[in-house]
Structure 1
Amino acid sequence: MPRIAVARLWFEGNSFAPAPTPLHAFAGREWLAGEEALRRYAGTATELGAVAAWAAARPDWDITVLRCAAAQPGGPMADDAFAAWLEEVEAGLAQGGFDGAYLSLHGACVTETDPEADLTALRRARHALGPRARLVASFDFHGNMSPQVPGLLDGASAYRTYPHTDMDAAATRALRLLDRALRGERLHGCLVKHPRVLHSFHMRHAAGPMAEIWAEAAAAEGGPILDASPFGGFAWGDSPHAGPSAMVWGTEEVPVRALARRLRDAIAAREARFAVALPGPEAALEQALAAPPGLVALLDPADNPLSGGAADTPALLRALLDRGDALPETVFAFLHDADAVRAAQAAGEGGRLERALGGRTTAAFGPPVPFAGVVERLTHGRFLNSGPMEHGAPVDLGPTALLRRGPLRVVLTSRKEAAVDPEFFALHGIAPGAVRLLANKAKNHFRAAFEARCSAIIEADCPGPASLDLGALPFRHVPAAWR
């Protein structure tokens, strides 16, 4: 009976967000261990959902779930939060007796003082397990991966979709490699980098340059090649290993290394196609208003929570408010502002609310916007995802409020959870088919559930912590030649 440990740290750190991500942000989303973790995620399209399915299909495996932690991307993980997770997992692994372990990591975790926290976690886990136990991991496609990673592991895999709808599949692939390693098979891994930081706008799996690279990787699997995983990297993580890479695992070292280099070269050959230019918020709004009939999405990727945004920058909301009653029926999703939600609760449904919105955490991306309107709806903020991303997983926004000013409605939340699932809008009584403009702090993940529902999706270049102009950001760890 194999005795296996499982632990998870799923966090993507934006080095330029206005505030660190504290421990309570993890407690509010995922801070679980033991059977509770498997019960919560059983049947969901997540890594822990895959572990639950693996355990159910293999009753002869003894699986111990150690600390599992996740928070929405944000400012660097607070050092005390990372220490709390790491010390607990390290102690659990060091108890001994484990034949192997599976780690669900992101790959782009940075803390207040550690720009390569995932690598630190792997080193500490490897040491705690000892040399005889087997260790595998899965990663987000947006990992900023170090070439040292394969030397610490016995197998690994990464997401192969963007939007990420295959989190469970990536975990299952890693667990299959663990199974092979436990049976005594020696696997070889190699990771090579392309020394450049690239934007992820054109990294979708449906079409474009990264889709071609994924197809090349998939076609190469078979024979000695067990897993071929390209990475796009995360542009706003200030890490010494930022940027795209290719990771390959297999049974023979020479073809593994050759394929990793080939996939890296495929990324390099397409580098120019990852460049992007976007209109400013006013020009993007003009394009949205001129789009074909139907629902039009107007996105603000620079404050996208899934890129580490604060859901607090005001530029797009200001552009909408400046139009006044000339707007068509419009929803703005969303602002993360617990104080504003409490003020809306005090006013009550149907009550008036006047206060400044946005620019709460910092004025670096623009001052707050005056708002006067009506509280249309108050909610408890909880739902289950019905879309393809993290399907079935629970979401807790904390108490929320829906405000209305003329044709514009604004969603306020107490917790920062991205508005990328249909149930986010259903919770607030919003039927997308009855809306002309859906202005959202989002980017590519929004497309998983909404691309087929929209007649057009238009992205705006707004000020924010995940802004388009990388040259304006104060990088300290990314080599200058890579930017």
Structure 2
Amino acid sequence: MPKIAVARLWFEGNSFSPVPTPLAAFQGREWTAGTEALRLYRGTATELGAVDAFLAERPDWSATILRCTAAQPGGPMTDDAYDAWISEVEAGLSEGGFDGVYLSLHGACLTESDPEADLTTIRRVRALIGPQVKLVASFDFHGNMSPQVAALLDGASVYRTYPHVDMDRAAMRALLLLERGLAGEPIHGAIAKLPVVLHSFHMRDADGPMAEVWAEAWRAERKPILDASLFGGFAWGDTPTAGPSAMVWAEDHRSARALARELVAEIDRRRDRFAVTLPTPEEALEKALAAPAGLVALLDPADNPLSGGVADTPGLLRVLLGAKLQVETVYCFLHDPEAVMAAQQAGVGGAIARPLAGRTTSDFGPPVPFTGVVETLTAGQFLNTGPMEHGAPVDLGPTAVLRAGKLRVVITSRKEAAVDPAFFELHGIDLSGVRILANKAKNHFRAAFASRCSAIVECDTPGPAALDLLALPFRHVPRAWRA
């Protein structure tokens, strides 16, 4: 009867966010272990949902669920937060008796002192369990992957959709490789990298240059190839292993290495097609207002929480307030617990006048004066109904909707991206009556909303995930990789 251990650290670190990500951010979003972890995510489109489904089909397997945690992307994970997680995992693994270990990782985790935290995690786990215990992992497509990982693991897989709606399937593929390895089947891995940092705007799986490379990878998945995966990299992770890569697992090392190099070459051949330019927020608003009838999304990717944004930059909000729009407009969202408390004190229908945004830092612009009324107050809890992490619980903390004329502004106590329909239902916002939906978002927004929008317009504003990589103070990534 195989006995396995499961642990999870899902976090994407933005080196240029002004706010480090503390232990409280992990404990407030996902901090679970044991049978409770499987119960909580049972039936969801998540990695732990996949673990539960995998074990349900294998009643002769047993699993110890060690500490599993996740936080929204943000500034580097504090060292004490990482230490708290890894110490629990190592303590559990030290008990021994495991045939295999599955790690649910991101691939772009970094801490205050470690720009390659995922590699460190894999090294530490491998050192603890020894060479005989099988070790597999699943990763986010935006991982900055070290080639050393292939020699440390016995199998792995990666999200194959962007927006990421297949987290559970990536985990299942990794677990199936674990099953093959425990059965004694040969599995060899290789990772090839491209020395360049690319923006992910044109990396969607539905169309564009990365979709073409994905198609090449899937066509190659036949004996002796067991799994062919791509990483787009995370542009704002300042790490020596930044940039796109290919990871292949095969029955022999030569086949894995050859296909990994071939897939990276396919990305390189399309390098120019990953380039992107964006309009200013003023130009983008004009374009959005001129779009066909219906809901138009006006996106601010530079402060996208799912790229490590702080959900606090003022650029787009300033433009919207200055435009005095005559169409129903929703701006979501600002992470501002103090503003939520002020809204609670004012009560529904009460007046509120205070500066918004620019609360965390003035590096991206000063706060914006706001005068309006409190329209809605909520407890901030819902279950995802869209395709990303479907069924998973979300806790925004207390929230409020403020209104100034035709503009509504959503403010939250916790930073969770507004990419699920239930976010808007929670706040009583009927998007069928909205013309402009301004959102701190990028590609993940499209999973649930692309079909509902007559147009999607992105703009370039200052923020932690800014478009101009040459303007950011990288220390580990050569300038030539960012040109």
Class of the TM-score when normalised by the shorter of the 2 chains = over 0.9
Equivalent residue letter for 1:407:
K
* Corresponding residue for residue 474 of structure 1: 473
* Corresponding residue for residue 73 of structure 2: 73
Distance 1:175 1:479 in 2: 36
* Corresponding residue for residue 160 of structure 1: 160
The Cα shift of 1:327 comes to: 3.3
Distance 1:481 1:293 in 2: 43
The Cα shift of 1:323 comes to: 1.1
Equivalent residue letter for 2:177:
L
Distance 1:59 1:129 in 2: 24
Distance 1:221 1:307 in 2: 30
Distance 2:432 2:9 in 1: 37
* Corresponding residue for residue 129 of structure 1: 129
The Cα shift of 1:55 comes to: 1.1
Q: Deviations over 1:167-224 (max 9, x none)?
A: 0000000000000000112211000100000000000000000000000000000110
Alignment of 1:414-425 (within 5 A): 414-425=413-424
Equivalent residue letter for 2:481:
W
The Cα shift of 1:130 comes to: 1.4
Distance 2:20 2:79 in 1: 9
Distance 1:297 1:129 in 2: 49
* Corresponding residue for residue 382 of structure 1: 381
The Cα shift of 1:118 comes to: 0.1
* Corresponding residue for residue 343 of structure 1: 342
Equivalent residue letter for 1:194:
L
1:226–1:249 contact (8 Å) kept in structure 2: yes
* Corresponding residue for residue 354 of structure 1: 353
* Corresponding residue for residue 6 of structure 1: 6
Distance 1:479 1:138 in 2: 28
2:43–2:391 contact (8 Å) kept in structure 1: yes
Alignment of 1:73-472 (within 5 A): 73-324=73-324, 326-472=325-471
Distance 1:303 1:240 in 2: 24
Moved more, 90-99 or 145-154: 90-99
Equivalent residue letter for 1:33:
A
Question: Helix, strand or coil for the counterpart of 1:311?
Answer: coil
The Cα shift of 1:77 comes to: 0.3
Equivalent residue letter for 2:440:
K
Alignment of 1:2-41 (within 5 A): 2-41=2-41
2:470–2:479 contact (8 Å) kept in structure 1: no
The Cα shift of 1:382 comes to: 0.3
Equivalent residue letter for 2:418:
A
Question: Helix, strand or coil for the counterpart of 1:332?
Answer: strand
The Cα shift of 1:38 comes to: 0.4
Distance 1:237 1:342 in 2: 33
Equivalent residue letter for 2:148:
Q
Distance 2:88 2:477 in 1: 30
* Corresponding residue for residue 43 of structure 1: 43
Question: Helix, strand or coil for the counterpart of 2:353?
Answer: strand
Distance 1:215 1:138 in 2: 20
The Cα shift of 1:254 comes to: 1.4
Moved more, 387-396 or 90-99: 90-99
Q: Deviations over 1:452-478 (max 9, x none)?
A: 000000000000000000000000111
1:31–1:67 contact (8 Å) kept in structure 2: yes
Question: Helix, strand or coil for the counterpart of 2:376?
Answer: strand
Distance 1:152 1:168 in 2: 23
Equivalent residue letter for 1:377:
T
Equivalent residue letter for 1:11:
F
Question: Helix, strand or coil for the counterpart of 2:297?
Answer: strand
Moved more, 249-258 or 304-313: 249-258
Equivalent residue letter for 2:234:
F
Q: Deviations over 1:93-138 (max 9, x none)?
A: 1211000100000000010010000000000000111121000000
1:110–1:117 contact (8 Å) kept in structure 2: yes
Distance 1:272 1:85 in 2: 40
Gaps of 5+ in 1: none
1:21–1:77 contact (8 Å) kept in structure 2: yes
Q: Deviations over 1:56-93 (max 9, x none)?
A: 11111011100001000000000000011111111111
TM-score normalised to structure 2 length: 0.99
Question: Helix, strand or coil for the counterpart of 2:349?
Answer: coil
The Cα shift of 1:414 comes to: 0.2
Question: Helix, strand or coil for the counterpart of 2:284?
Answer: helix
Distance 2:281 2:422 in 1: 27
Q: Deviations over 1:320-351 (max 9, x none)?
A: 00012x33100000000000000000000000
Question: Helix, strand or coil for the counterpart of 1:340?
Answer: helix
Moved more, 83-92 or 333-342: 83-92
The Cα shift of 1:479 comes to: 2.5
Equivalent residue letter for 1:446:
F
Distance 2:314 2:462 in 1: 9
Equivalent residue letter for 1:85:
W
1:320–1:327 contact (8 Å) kept in structure 2: no
Equivalent residue letter for 2:187:
L
The Cα shift of 1:481 comes to: 2.4
Distance 1:379 1:257 in 2: 52
Percent identical: 73
Distance 1:327 1:52 in 2: 50
Distance 1:298 1:327 in 2: 16
* Corresponding residue for residue 52 of structure 2: 52
TM-score normalised to structure 1 length: 0.99
